[in-house]
Chain A
Amino acid sequence: MFSWLEKNPFFFAVAVFIVIAYAGIVEVLPNFTENARPIEGKKPYTVLQLAGRQIYIKESCNACHSQLIRPFKSETDRYGMYSVSGEYAYDRPFLWGSKRTGPDLMRVGSYRTTDWHENHMWEPTSVVPHSIMPAYKHMFKNDADIETAYAEALTIKKVFNVPYDVPDGIKLGSWKDAQEEVKAEAQVIVDEMKNEEVKKAFAKGEIKEIVALIAYLNSLK
């Protein structure tokens, strides 16, 4: 049989494909019917948080920080309750990471504050002596891309039925509404920050990357 396959490249390729595709059908597909259901009370990200999430992705924070707390005492003591599937229902893409060069961030919003993050991004060793993380000072200069974040929110609302604009939920509305929402949300964070440049820029209507990133990090609970 095999020597016959080796003389018939077409059937050979078909045979290879069937053999390799099999695992995906059995192992990957079943999960799609069940998971991705949000846990009770889980809300999608706001536009500002999504903008922050995009910055997190842009800087590949996930290369060094995980967002997956494993069910061991050492991890739950250190980072909080272990992760469950429904908590990730609105995570597109997932950001579990594969290597911890720094600690896990899944619930960092529960134990770090806005000004801690501000100092940490400006000069990591100021809050964690001996930290090997680079400083991300450019986040205090670059503007956050609110438009693309809004585009993402609107896309997932339309395509995947992510529940925006529902009673007691996250309001998305039109681009104009969203801008107002973002401004109000950013105001709270800017008020808690110390960096004068960021404050001045915000007064002029600019939202710096650091503001959006902190909004995202604070939402991780």
Chain B
Amino acid sequence: MHPGNALSYDYTVAKCFMFATILFGIIGMAIGTLIAFQMAYPNLNYLAGEYATFSRLRPLHTSGVIFGFMLSGIWATWYYIGQRVLKVSMAESKFLMIIGKLHFWLYMFTMIFAIISLFLGITTSKEYAELEWPLDILVVIVWVLWGMSIFGLIGIRREKTLYISLWYYIATFLGIAMLYLFNNMEVPTYFVAGIGKWYHSVSMYAGTNDALVQWWYGHNAVAFVFTVGIIAQIYYFLPKESGQPIFSYKLSLFAFWGLMFVYLWAGGHHLIYSTVPDWMQTMGSVFSIVLILPSWGSAINIMLTMKGEWSQLRESPLIKFMILASTFYMFSTLEGPILSIKSVNALAHFTDWIPGHVHDGTLGWVGFMTMAALYHMTPRLFKRELYSKSLMEIQFWIQTIGVVLYFSSMWIAGITQGMMWRATDKYGNLIYSFIDTVVAIVPYYWIRAIGGLLYLIGFFIFTYNIYKTIACGRVLDKEPKSASPMAV
């Protein structure tokens, strides 16, 4: 870099991950929509023999969306934000460029094998950690490569102080590394017994202990992918897009360290009324409620960043995406603690309220924020004006309606089924058989599936808009400072 000149950043890897985000977004959400329709209309289970039943596709949907769409999104933004807040270009280091590209290609390679293996039914059955040991090792290598990229870039930085977003990226990296390693401890059976399938393994933990480790992982993978990684994005993109500084540095500090300390205790709320000791269930419940504080701390900090500038919400669909995302974040982080209250959990656990809760978080918060991030990055990565503002508006409303249909139908279905499961007549006999409760909620499965379909349609509109931007958006002569330029 010559003194006085603006740095030109190298976005090769960011672009790769951006395309991966869109690709896995389509795959993951399309499978999600399909399995939603399968629950309403079971004949759809037979589209591809044994390979397309709900049960085989469900892990593909969750892994595809979490580790395909969301993680790619986090990495796309890392390779964009990282350089900019550290004031250093990846092109300055050959080593980091190689690490970045290797990170991307090894990740794609891992994802392809993950998809194939899940289709074949090769799974460990642990939710969000279904991959067998050979793929687990690949995942670890991919993760280490990302770590090298983070700390490598930090190592050659010009900006001494780490911006808030970087705190969150570092935390995502460390948190998932720890959780993933411990939860995926397994013994490959072939190497002990010398017989059977080489890729098969058995968990290091048994029964209740296995459950404890799994939900310590499962809940906190949500923490460090769905929450921490996404907050990293909004702390950068919202101030950039709106031209407003973050409302409060102290609140950022409080929210960050609070979140780090409290989040991992809350995993126990998945095990309420299970066979883990009572004090752990209580801790899970109590810490889940305490978790409202740091979660809302971030959300309020983000909302107040728009103080006095709410008119931007009317003018820019991009701001709208981000503010709606934060609103869903607040909603979801209030709903979670409510579900962790023992008496509510007794009703809601095992019902559709739970997928409902997950989806107002993922569709509303993660999905909207990720798409907003890509919308913001595209004009800067490709030096082009966003293709269509009105398409963005249409997409926004279609997807918002989709999310609302999704969570409201699942609330009703969950509470209905929970109440029916426990209903007794005046002699204390159960009134309903299990199948009665299923029949009662099938109409809500239809509504959910339609909600999911709307969201998917919105995602196709998003993809088209991005494609048109890259292919034929008006060329920009210089990088926009704040609000992303968009054609009508």
Contact A17 B261 (CB under 8 A): no
Contact partner, A159, options B124, B192, B268, B355, Cβ 8 Å: B192
Assuming the A-B contacts A7-B162, A13-B174, A132-B438, are A85 and B207 also in contact, with contact meaning beta carbons closer than 8 angstroms in the complex?
yes
Tell me if A28 is interfacial: C-beta within 8 Å of chain B. Answer: yes
The docked-state distance in angstroms from the alpha carbon of A73 to that of B211 is 24
Interface, chain A (partner B; CB < 8 A): 2-3, 6-7, 9, 12-13, 16-17, 19-24, 26-28, 31-32, 35-36, 54, 57-64, 66, 68, 70-75, 77-78, 83-85, 87-103, 128-136, 138, 145, 147-152, 154-156, 158-160, 175
The 8 A CB mask of B128-167 against A (1 = contact, 0 = none) is: 0000000000000000000000010010000011100001
Minimal beta-carbon separation of A42 from chain B (angstroms): 10
Most buried by B among A22, A26, A94: A94
Assuming the A-B contacts A36-B206, A83-B274, are A74 and B197 also in contact, with contact meaning beta carbons closer than 8 angstroms in the complex?
no
Assuming the A-B contacts A16-B174, A27-B280, A93-B124, are A60 and B209 also in contact, with contact meaning beta carbons closer than 8 angstroms in the complex?
no
Q: Of residues 72 to 91 in B, which have CB atoms within 8 Å of A's CB atoms? A: none
Contact partner, B55, options A3, A12, A134, Cβ 8 Å: A134
Contact B264 A84 (CB under 8 A): no
Q: Nearest 9 pairs between A and B by C-beta?
A: A88-B207, A151-B196, A148-B196, A134-B45, A23-B264, A151-B193, A58-B121, A85-B275, A60-B55
User: Interface residue count for B (Cβ, 8 Å)?
Assistant: 93
The docked-state distance in angstroms from the alpha carbon of A92 to that of B200 is 13
The 8 A CB mask of B421-455 against A (1 = contact, 0 = none) is: 11110001110001100110010000000000000
The docked-state distance in angstroms from the alpha carbon of A157 to that of B56 is 30
Minimal beta-carbon separation of B60 from chain A (angstroms): 10
Most buried by B among A27, A91, A130, A160: A27
Smallest Cβ-Cβ distance to B276: which chain A residue: A31
The docked-state distance in angstroms from the alpha carbon of A17 to that of B125 is 28
Contact partner, A88, options B126, B167, B275, B349, Cβ 8 Å: B275
Tell me if B3 is interfacial: C-beta within 8 Å of chain A. Answer: no
Tell me if B212 is interfacial: C-beta within 8 Å of chain A. Answer: yes
Contact B211 A96 (CB under 8 A): yes
The docked-state distance in angstroms from the alpha carbon of A90 to that of B189 is 16
The docked-state distance in angstroms from the alpha carbon of A136 to that of B59 is 18
Contact A36 B213 (CB under 8 A): no
Minimal beta-carbon separation of B280 from chain A (angstroms): 6
Contact B170 A28 (CB under 8 A): no
Minimal beta-carbon separation of B233 from chain A (angstroms): 18
Minimal beta-carbon separation of A162 from chain B (angstroms): 9
The docked-state distance in angstroms from the alpha carbon of A132 to that of B352 is 15
Stretch in contact with the other chain, from B46-54, B105-113, B388-396, B471-479: B46-54
Contact partner, A155, options B175, B202, B264, B349, Cβ 8 Å: B202
**13 extra A-B contacts, CB within 8 A, seeds A77-B429, A88-B207, A91-B206:** A23-B267, A27-B268, A28-B212, A36-B206, A54-B200, A59-B55, A61-B55, A94-B208, A99-B355, A134-B42, A134-B55, A154-B195, A155-B192
The docked-state distance in angstroms from the alpha carbon of A99 to that of B413 is 13
Tell me if B463 is interfacial: C-beta within 8 Å of chain A. Answer: no
Contact A58 B216 (CB under 8 A): no
Contact B50 A138 (CB under 8 A): yes
Contact A7 B277 (CB under 8 A): no
Contact A98 B350 (CB under 8 A): yes
Assuming the A-B contacts A24-B216, A36-B209, are A16 and B260 also in contact, with contact meaning beta carbons closer than 8 angstroms in the complex?
yes
Which residues of chain B are within 8 angstroms of A21 by Cβ–Cβ distance? 178
Minimal beta-carbon separation of B305 from chain A (angstroms): 19
The docked-state distance in angstroms from the alpha carbon of A62 to that of B214 is 14
Contact B178 A9 (CB under 8 A): no
Which residues of chain B are within 8 angstroms of A154 by Cβ–Cβ distance? 189, 192-193, 195
Which residues of chain A are within 8 angstroms of B435 by Cβ–Cβ distance? 128-131
